[in-house]
Each structure stands twice: as C-alpha cells, then as structure tokens.
Amino acid sequence: MWARGSDTVDAVNRLHENTVYLPGYPCPPSLRASSDLGAVITGSELLLMVVPTQYIVTTLGEAAKLLQPHQVMVSCSKGISLASLETVEELLERLVPPEFRSRLAYLSGPSFAAEVAGGQPTAVTVAAKDDQLAARVQALLSNPRFRCYRSTDVIGVELAGALKNVLAIACGISDGLGFGNNARAALITRGLYEITKLAVARGANPLTMSGLAGMGDLVLTCTGDLSRNRTVGLRLGRGERLQDIQASMGGAVAEGVPTAVAIRTLARKLGVECPIMQGIHRVIHEGANAQEVVTEVMSRELKPEVAPDIIKGVIANGSNTNLMEVLAAAGPPQTPAVAEAPPPALKATALEGAAATAARNPRSILCDGGRSGEREDGAMRTATVAVLAAGAGAALGAAVVAVSRWRR
C-alpha cells in the first residue's frame, strides 16, 4: 500500500493498522506500506487507486509511465476534476500510456470503508469498456462478503459516483436544518432526476442510475452516518463554516465540496437545468442562506414530474428519433432504454408485433408474459424483456424505439 505520510506507513508496518484513516480495524500482517510510489506500482499485478480526484494528476504524474502491460488499474475515486471538468476515466486515459488505456477499470457503489473492513456484506459495481476485463476484476475482488457486479457503462458509473456526493451534502443540510424524512426523500428522488439528466447528456445509460453505482450509492451517502459528505452538510445546516468543518476532518476529503463547482459548470456547458445542484453550490461556495434557497427551489414554476418531451419524442418519430438526444432533454429514470444491438434471435417483425400489441392493449404485453410472441419462435419474449426493463409505464415507447433503432 502506498501512503504519502510516514505516520501511516509506520503504523501499517509496525502496528498492522491504519491508525490515521481507519483506526480499530486490523490489517493483514502480509500487507506492507511504502512511501515509494514507483516501487508500489512496479511490484503489483492489480492496482487499486483511491487517491481523491483533485490530487490524481499530481499524485500519479510521472509514475504512470511505470505501468506494465500485464497490470490492471482499478480506480475507486469518485469525483470530477475541478480544473478541467474531466471524470476520473478521462484523467487516467490522459495520464497513462496509450497502450495501457484498455487496462483501466472503475469500482463504485455503496461501500463505506469501515463496513468493508469490518467484513459487513457489501455489493459494488466494476465497470470497464472491455467486459472481459470487468469480469476479471470482478472475480479477483469478489468474496462471500464483498460481491461485485460488472458493467461496460463506464461514464454512467463514473458520473453517478461523482454527482451523488453533492446531493449527500444537500441531504445533510436538510437534516441540519431540522427538516424531516419527507424533505430527504424528495431531495434523493429529484436529485437522482438531475443526476440522470447530466449523466445521459454525457452519453451514459439511464438504467445505470438505478443500479448500485447510482441509486445504491446515493441512498447510502445521503442517509448514512458514516458519510463524510452528509456530515459536512449536516454541520453546514447547523450553522458551522465550511472552512472550520474541513479543518476538523483530519485530512479526510469530502469530494462533494469541489464537485459542486464542477457540476455547476458542467450543467451550464451541457444546458441541463439542475436547480437542486445549483442551489447547493450557492450554499457551499457563495454563502447563500440555506432556508432561502430551499424556499426558492420549492417555489419554482409547477411542472409535470416526468417531462412530456420524453414520451412525445420517443413515440412521435420512429426512425428519426435519437434516443440519447431525447434523454438529454428530459432524462428521467423511467425513460425507456434499449440495447445498442439486438439479440441474435430477435427479429424486427417480432418487435413490430410487440409495438402493435402494446398499442392495442399495453397491459397485455406485461401481464401475459409475451404469450402472443411465442408464435414468433419465442422472439417475442425477448422483446417483452426489453419493455419490462423500461418500466410498465413505457411499454409502447420501448417497443417503438426498439423497432426504429434495431431496424438500422
């Protein structure tokens, strides 16, 4: 294990415990700590990078050139670069040698370090552009107490892990102000809506936002007492100054503080409205009164929960509809999402049949288990899965989009 501070190195090697950042949890006697980053990198097969996002460039720097073709690097950092608006993936792909870019994976999900160290059951997501690489990392890290799922939606997993930290500060502020469970539930739900819009505008799969890296990590960080970001928000809501809070954290980093700045800039660049995220930036970095910001957000123009553009855009225009553009415009989690390529056995005629069936009676396709599709050599059942994955309310939209995209 590489550690910057000599106190941490000495404690791990002599006491077999990280007394600075994880006191009370013994480390395996075989674990050795070193302040020589080059030696740690060259002597390893699997590298876990847990450096805070804002320090990745200065920490990895020249050492990235020491990476070997047989190694795999797994990033566990969650954030967006304040200087460049790059995700961790984009930072690493810029830093590592070009031939090593295919060796990068990303771990995210609801995983408080103290609970993992204590052997508490934990489930996370490992993402990589190459599914075989994701599967290899998944197998290496999984055990009966730590279960890994895998994904190829790297940008979705990355943004979900970064953006939820800002929302956790919002939930902490809400709790600090004395607001109740209703307010927290509203923040989590509408905050996820904003996170999904931003992520999809960057090319993410909206379904990732409902998984471990999205909703799973969001719920944990917004409600858990071990959450650094929620704790920062809680103390802000109780009237403490941000500078004093950060000074008392003993070197621990709440990623949501710098990420709030990055999100505001990113949202403006993408043209995505994020009133909750923008409000949090005002409270954290502009000194706005939290009570007044809450009133402003709650008093905005009333609107539908699910933007009508999404349904109109998906259903109205078959082959000319770009699903990603529609999602970027509205982006709720309920949006129908379909695979980029059809399963081999799936025929366009079967999907046309699915759309026709849903148009006559949307419930039949959901309640009858795709029974009518069995006359198409079982292909209809696959189409039903695509519809169910999008949610019951989007049955017709999913079928129509599937037809238009898979015809191409």
- Which residues make Cβ contacts (< 8 Å) with residue 18, sequence separation at least 6? 8, 11, 12, 25, 27
Question: Which H helix or E strand runs over 264?
Answer: helix 256-270
Asked if residues 359 and 352 have their Cβ atoms less than 8 Å apart, the reply is no
Q: Identify the burial level of 308 via C-beta atoms within 10 angstroms of its C-beta, where 0-12 means exposed, 13-18 middle and 19 or more buried.
A: exposed
C-alpha 70/C-alpha 80 separation (Å) is 28
What's the one-letter identity of residue 175?
Answer: D
Coil, strand or helix: which one is 332? Answer: coil
Q: Which of 164, 197, 312, 347 is catalytic?
A: 164
- The angle at the Cα of 251, spanning 247 to 256, to the nearest 5 degrees, equals 80
Strand partners, 106: 75, 127
| Dihedral, CA of residue 257, residue 262, residue 265 and residue 271, to nearest 10 | -110
Torsion sign (Cα): 10, 14, 20, 21: positive
CA distances from 256 to 73, 146, 169, 185, 263 (A): 24, 25, 7, 19, 10
Residues across the chain? 408
C-alpha 89/C-alpha 86 separation (Å) is 8
Backbone dihedral angles phi then psi of residue 124, each to the nearest 5 degrees: -135, 175
Backbone dihedral angles phi then psi of residue 74, each to the nearest 5 degrees: -115, 115
274 Cα distance to chain centroid: 17
Check if 164 is active-site. yes
- Which residues make Cβ contacts (< 8 Å) with residue 43, sequence separation at least 6? none
Q: Which two tokens stand for residue 315?
A: 């259903």
Q: Which residues are catalytic?
A: 164
